[in-house]
Amino acid sequence: MSIAIFKYAAPMNFYGLAGRLIPWFAWSSGILTAIGLYLAFFVAPTDFQQGEAYRVIFLHVPAAWMSMFIYMVMAFWSAVGLAWNTRLSFMMSRALAPTGAVFAFLSLWTGALWGKPMWGAWWVWDARLTSSLILFFLYVGIMSLWSAIDDPRRGDKAGALLTLIGAINVPIIYFSVKWWNTLHQGSTINMTKAPSMAAIMLAGMLVMVFAAWFYAIAASLVRVRGIILERERQTEWVAEILEGKA
């Protein structure tokens, strides 16, 4: 097991592995999205309080969870990269950020479109919403920092540092509905209590969560392959790929 991990920590081996994994994750995500949307629109019943407006949940919750989860994965790779100076970890962090930003944006957008009919406001400056907006700005900030620093190794370190500092925001988002009085409803899924929603609604939402998960993996693997080629362009194996031998 540990031998396999070290083997794939080498960008050359990981490039091939990622290439083989991408179709599996992409297809799984596509199939799960189709099932999830079917459950969301044709099986899940109308909500007794919110009517049809609640159907935004099947997008909003997966997007919000992914925006936080991807950030934590980036923080993990940043920490690994800073501690052991492993090249691939920084590349993974760079590959994840744009997809994280997409989900952070979608969580804000779908939240606004859900908030308007339910609360009467597109936006309020409460703890949950404000910390989610900060998360989106963190993604944008980290990506701007990378693109502003030409030397990739220096960019890696600066970006990793910013990612780690910003990681304090994620638990703030997560616990914001408990710590502060907020318009935002409490967590849908709880570790200690039974879920506060009908089983079929929960099933649809979880299917969409896995679809988003596999999509994020596929997208970041595509991106990391590009980054690997770019960084390893002086090596023999990349030369072979460019010549069309491999």
Partner 1 sequence: MMWASWGEFWAMGGYGLYVWGSYGAAFIVILIEIISLGRGHKQTLKRLKRMKAWESQ
Distance between CA atoms of residues 59 and 141, nearest Å: 25
**Binder of partner 1 out of 7, 23, 24, 52 (CB under 8 A):** 52
Contact between 183 and 127 under an 8 Å Cβ cutoff? The reply is no
Provide, rounded to whole angstroms, the least separation between the CB of residue 192 and partner 1: 30
* Residue 83 in the binding site for partner 1 (CB under 8 A): no
Size of residue set near partner 1 by CB under 8 A: 37
Q: Could you give the angle at the alpha carbon of 22 between the alpha carbons of 109 and 73, nearest 5°? A: 55
Q: Is 46 in the site for partner 1 (CB under 8 A)?
A: yes
Cα 217 from Cα 220, distance rounded (Å): 5
On whether the CB atoms of residues 167 and 75 are closer than 8 A, the answer is yes
Stretch that binds partner 1, among 10-18, 151-159, 186-194, 225-233 (CB under 8 A): 225-233
Across 102-128, b (16+ Cβ under 10 Å) vs e yields: bbbebbbebbeebbeeeeeeeeeeebb
Give CA–CA dist 10/195, Å, rounded.
42
Stretch that binds partner 1, among 2-10, 54-62, 69-77, 151-159 (CB under 8 A): 54-62
Residue of 32, 38, 158, 44 lying closest to 90 (CA atoms): 158
Tell me: does residue 120 bind partner 1 (CB under 8 A).
no
Q: CB of 22: closest distance to partner 1 in angstroms?
A: 10
By CB under 8 A, what part of segment 200-219 binds partner 1?
A: 215, 219
Binding interface with partner 1 (CB under 8 A): 41-43, 45-46, 51-53, 55-56, 59-60, 63, 98-99, 102, 105-106, 109-110, 113-114, 116-117, 215, 219, 222-223, 225-226, 229-230, 233, 238-239, 241-242
